[in-house]
Amino acid sequence: MSDAVEFGGVPLDRSARIYVAGHRGLVGSAIWRKLEAEGFTDIVGRTSSELDLKDRGAVFEFFRETKPRYVVLAAAKVGGILANNTYPVDFLTDNLQIQVNVMDAALEQRVERLLFLGSSCIYPKFAPQPIHEDSLMTGHLEETNDAYAVAKIAGIYQVQAVRRQYGLPWISAMPTNLYGPGDNFSPQGSHVLPALIRRYDEAASSGAPSVTNWGTGSPRREFLHVDDMASACLHLLDHYDGPEQVNVGTGTDVTIKEIAETIAKVAGFEGETEWDTSKPDGTPQKLLDVSRLTEAGWTAQIGLEDGLRSTVKWYREHIDALRV
């Protein structure tokens, strides 16, 4: 694979119809806000109860009626380690069905630009850090989310196949860990950062003397605010036109301990944080190489503490209406 970033994407026409699949989710809702802020005037979305993207016939009918010129595919079955590990069939087949249906129907309508969203878990468990896009398919996947990862890898190949066979300039982006307003804070389904926000907020409001987290706190992880993610997605749609997936991250990582301390601070928790070192730590480091994105002209803008502060505020304002 080549290292050269391929530019030449024609900026999207702000008056054309754009369909955001998964527009109520963490990523989709941020993309919707970004499109509105950038002057898009014909944004279309459907909830899963209005349009189940696993229903192939309904998806084709929707595309025939709606005829979007652009598509952002941010609908997926998403979850943390526990959910991925417990329901691998759902994560594999739901995601394959959603993405194959949307991309096949989009192809039938010759959608001009489509952005497929994957995840950093597509890369091998022991990929060299920071993880470059070329690490794809060079080693074994992390077992706890391999079913989800295989579905996402299939999506990247579908985008590449459409480019090759039909010449449509579709693209893929692979975000790092995301956080922000609209996240899933449920104990069963959440990722590490929303789980920590919930834990520290509860401890702060109950006046608990201590919070216990799993592991040593030493693993390093990268976190990107979802509004930055949305900005990167639009930047790529406007400016990037290449077959290879583009990593989307900040390019820097922090320890889980640092992230926990920052969340404790912004949540106003004044007790002690303890680490249950009998519990597993997971991979020591997970950081994306974002040089391709940087070359394409985009860098993250929202600092971690600022991003966490606004996310904790959002969480508190929406605590009664969070998804379960």
CB of 271 to ligand NDP, least distance (A): 28
Scanning 25-33, 82-90, 260-268, 298-306 for contacts with ligand NDP by CB under 6 A, the matching segment is 25-33
Which pair of structure tokens corresponds to residue 138?
């060079």
Span near ligand NDP by CB under 6 A; candidates 35-43, 174-182, 202-210, 271-279: 174-182
Specify whether the CB–CB gap between 122 and 154 falls below 8 A.
no
Residue 141: count other Cβ atoms within 10 Å of its Cβ: 19
Q: Work out whether the CA dihedral 284, 247, 24, 226 comes out positive or negative.
A: positive
> Can you state the angle between helices 88-108 and 56-66, rounded to 10 degrees?
30
Binding mask 269-308 for ligand NDP (x = CB under 6 A): ----------------------------------------
Contact flag: residue 78 with ligand NDP (CB under 6 A): yes
Answer whether 198's CB lies under 8 Å from 185's CB: yes
Site for ligand NDP in 95-124 (CB under 6 A): 98, 117, 119
Structure tokens at 143: 């077992």
Q: In whole angstroms, how close is the CB of 9 to ligand NDP at the nearest point?
A: 20
Active-site position among 123, 148, 200, 315: 148
- 49 labelled ligand-binding: no
**What is the rounded CA–CA span in Å between residue 153 and residue 164?**
17
Phi, psi of 182 (to 5 degrees): 95, 0
Q: Name which of residues 203 to 262 contact ligand NDP (CB under 6 A).
A: none
- Among positive and negative, which fits the CA dihedral 150, 19, 4, 226? negative
**Binding of residue 18 to ligand NDP (CB under 6 A):** no
Interacting span for ligand NDP (CB under 6 A) from 71-79, 132-140, 162-170, 314-322: 71-79
Annotated binding residue 26: yes
Q: Which residue in the set 27, 151, 293, 304 belongs to the binding site for ligand NDP (CB under 6 A)?
A: 27
The residue among 29 and 262 lying less far from ligand NDP, judged by its C-beta, is 29
Task: Give the nearest residue (CB) to ligand NDP.
Answer: 25
188 binds ligand NDP (CB under 6 A): no
Strand ranges for the chain from DSSP E: 18-21, 43-44, 70-73, 113-117, 171-175, 177-179, 210-214, 220-221, 223-225, 246-248, 254-255, 272-276, 285-286
Stretch that binds ligand NDP, among 70-78, 196-204, 237-245, 296-304 (CB under 6 A): 70-78
Buried b / exposed e along 115-125 (16+ C-beta atoms within 10 A): bbbbbbbbbbe
Cα 317 to Cα 198, 207, 232, 266, 303, distances in angstroms: 13, 19, 27, 15, 21
47: contact with ligand NDP by CB under 6 A: yes
Q: Which residues bind ligand NDP (CB under 6 A)?
A: 22, 24-28, 47-48, 52-54, 74-78, 98, 117, 119, 175, 177-178, 184, 191
- Catalytic positions, please? 148
